Homo-oligomer: A and B are copies of this chain.
Amino acid sequence: MPGFSDTRRGPYLGSFSSNAIDRLTALFSRLPGLGKKSAGRLVYHILDADVSFARILGEELLAFHDAIKRCSRCGAYTESDPCPICSDSAREPVICVVERAQDVRIIEEFREFHGRFHVLGGLIAPLEGVSPDNLTIGDLLTRVREENIKEVILATNPTLEGDTTALYIQKVLKNTGVEITRLASGLPVGGDLEYADRLTLSRSFRGRIKL
């Protein structure tokens, strides 16, 4: 049949060299959730789109790390230091302790917490070489004392590492007299008993509330 070979070898792939496309595809596929195929789809979308889209996206990326710093007090990502939350004197003397800087945004968007934050920068995970010294637990202790904090809410994820870290922080803060709480764990709203795993079900029993 003309145009077709009966072998899978041959130099034909190499002759179609689009290096800029390959490079951009490789870069996008290093981002979380993007495989080679979906990265390729983004690249061709950008090619088909107006040239201004690639230009604006490129410029934003070049300026990005200069625009965003970490707050020297709480560790959140911010454009000014200290961040708007730490600078806001109306914030109540309650610290919500989270694992990652993006958790601050998640809780801020939920709009019901009016206290301050503290970003740990990770969770205690001995197997991955993360010890308490790698986290900002010492800074948290200092802040609890200096900012006259009434309550520390431990909002690490309800996982093995999140629970271990919460337990460790609880011990560190024990002598400060601050109230220490942990986010409730249990069935998600709208969830179904049938699909709950054993551990979640067990926690929802232990944490049951009186009506």
A2 to B46, CA, bound (A): 48
Is the CB–CB distance between A51 and B65 below 8 Å?
A: yes
A41 to B105, CA, bound (A): 12
Is A33 in the interface zone, CB < 8 Å from B?
yes
Binds B, one of A7-15, A124-132, A140-148, A195-203: A7-15
Which among A76-84, A159-167, A184-192 touches the partner chain?
A: A76-84
Q: Mark A102-145, 1 if CB is under 8 A from B, else 0.
A: 10110011011111000000000000000000000000000000
- The listed residue (B13, B46, B58) touching A109 by CB distance below 8 A is B13
Q: Pick from B18, B27, B62, B78: contact of A18, CB below 8 A.
A: B78
- Chain B's closest residue to A153 (CB) is B3
The copy count of this chain in the complex is: 2
Interface size class of A (residues with CB under 8 A): 35 or more
> In chain A between 65 and 83, which residues have their CB closer than 8 angstroms to a CB of chain B?
65, 67-68, 76-79, 83
A46 contact set on B, CB distance < 8 A:
31, 61, 64
User: Contact check: which of B3, B19, B153 meets A115 at CB < 8 Å?
Assistant: B3
Do A61 and B61 form a contact, CB below 8 Å, given A77-B21, A102-B40?
yes
Residues of A within 8 A of B (CB): 2-5, 8-10, 12-13, 15-21, 23-24, 27-28, 30-34, 38, 40-42, 44-47, 51, 53-65, 67-68, 76-79, 83-85, 88, 92-94, 96, 100-102, 104-105, 108-109, 111-115, 150-151, 153
